[in-house]
Amino acid sequence: MKTVVITGSTRGIGLGLARAFLAQGCQVVVSGRQADAVAARVAELGEEFSADRVAGAACEVTDSEALQGLWECAVSRFGQVDVWINNAGISLPRKPLWQQDPAAMRQLVDVNLSGVLLASRVALAGMMTQGHGQLWNMEGFGSGGQMQPGMCAYGASKRAVNYINASLQKEVKDTPLQVSTLSPGIVVTDLLVGDYDLSSPEWQKSKRIFNILGDKVDTVTPWLAKGVLGSTRSGDTVAWLTGPKAFWRFLTAAFNKRDLFADIPGA
């Protein structure tokens, strides 16, 4: 039975992954910045699945000591960490860089870049000591070089994930460790919707694209979890929205009307 640690897993994709791994028989450690949110998710998932397979710890990913505490929580409860997923991330409102709040930009870099580096350091050090383990870092918009107005800071932070993974894969070469990439594509979460002014023409235009290429959390995360559990090589990428899939969706968009935002007020 594998033990999976997921940062930023009290909501959104992280919580969906926690559910998906539990559904596939794993032990899961959830985390988030707020202790009350973590406790609520541990109780919820324990009732839904099995309380003896769920643990949690509050963790700010920019805090090395908190990250070490998350590792130790997993090891003390389940004995080891087989999979560590760096999922925690934040975004900014979609507006030009010169209009962004400097403090918010610094926080984004701290969480999306420094947080990945610090968490990867803790996870890889622990895995090296125990003699095995997989580290997965989460791609996002910009990881593949995509560009859009208003996405400069976020896209740059996600573009860095590619460099981090490629570099770490060289560092773990000839060891039992794996460093790999998760690519969820466009997933409807509050992180996605919260970037937009929902009354703007820009939102209406983006919404049409999202309804073609996007998916719900509970559609994407079981497939991602299965891919992680089936991976055996460092450097693997588990990607939901591939080029051929995106092409097919655009090709059939006129015959496949969807509204992924029907249950979101104002969207």
- Residues of the chain with pLDDT > 70, as a percent, come to 93
Look at residue 40 and give its three-state secondary structure. helix
> How many CB atoms are closer than 10 A to CB 265?
6
**Residue that the structure tokens 């998906």 belong to:** 20
Q: Over the stretch 254-263, which tens digit does the pLDDT of each residue have?
A: 777 777 766 7
> How many CB atoms are closer than 10 A to CB 228?
24
At residue 206, does pLDDT exceed 90?
no
Range of the domain at 161: 3-189+216-242
Assess if residue 199 is contained within a domain: no
Who has greater pLDDT, 211 or 122? Answer: 122
CATH of the domain at 143: 3.40.50.720
CA atoms of 206 and 8, how far apart (whole Å): 25
- Residues of the chain with pLDDT > 90, as a percent, come to 70
Q: Over the stretch 216-248, which tens digit does the pLDDT of each residue have?
A: 889 999 999 999 999 999 999 999 888 888 777
Assess if residue 196 is contained within a domain: no
**Residue that the structure tokens 């910009």 belong to:** 142
Who has greater pLDDT, 176 or 144? Answer: 176
Note whether 61 and 118 are within 8 A (CB): yes
Q: In terms of Cα–Cα distance, which of 27, 60, 24, 64 is closest to 42?
A: 27
Alpha-helical runs (H) found in the chain: 12-23, 35-48, 64-78, 102-109, 115-130, 152-171, 190-193, 201-213, 217-230, 243-251
In this prediction, residue 193 has a pLDDT band, given cuts at 50, 70 and 90, of low
CA atoms of 179 and 197, how far apart (whole Å): 37
Who has greater pLDDT, 248 or 135? Answer: 135
Q: Over the stretch 32-51, which tens digit does the pLDDT of each residue have?
A: 999 999 999 999 999 999 99
Assess if residue 262 is contained within a domain: no
Note whether 9 and 87 are within 8 A (CB): yes
Note whether 120 and 137 are within 8 A (CB): yes
CA atoms within 13 A of residue 120's CA, in its CB half-sphere: 26
At residue 267, does pLDDT exceed 60?
no
The catalytic position among 71, 78, 141, 154 is 154
- Mean pLDDT score, 177-191: 87
Beta pairing partners, 3: 27
Assess if residue 116 is contained within a domain: yes
With 0.85 as the threshold, say if the pTM is over it. Answer: yes
Assess if residue 260 is contained within a domain: no
Q: What pLDDT is stored for residue 196 in this prediction?
A: 65
Assess if residue 206 is contained within a domain: no
In this prediction, residue 252 has a pLDDT band, given cuts at 50, 70 and 90, of confident
Q: What pLDDT is stored for residue 222 in this prediction?
A: 96
Assess if residue 64 is contained within a domain: yes
Indicate the number of domains in the chain.
1
Active-site residue 163, yes or no?
no
CA atoms of 74 and 3, how far apart (whole Å): 8
- Mean pLDDT score, 75-82: 97
Assess if residue 204 is contained within a domain: no
Mean pLDDT of the chain: 90
CA atoms within 13 A of residue 94's CA, in its CB half-sphere: 18
Beta pairing partners, 29: 5, 55
At residue 265, does pLDDT exceed 80?
no
Q: What pLDDT is stored for residue 203 in this prediction?
A: 67
CA atoms of 233 and 168, how far apart (whole Å): 13
Q: What pLDDT is stored for residue 248 in this prediction?
A: 79
Note whether 183 and 143 are within 8 A (CB): yes
At residue 266, does pLDDT exceed 60?
no
Q: In terms of Cα–Cα distance, which of 225, 220, 239 is closest to 21?
A: 225
In this prediction, residue 147 has a pLDDT band, given cuts at 50, 70 and 90, of confident
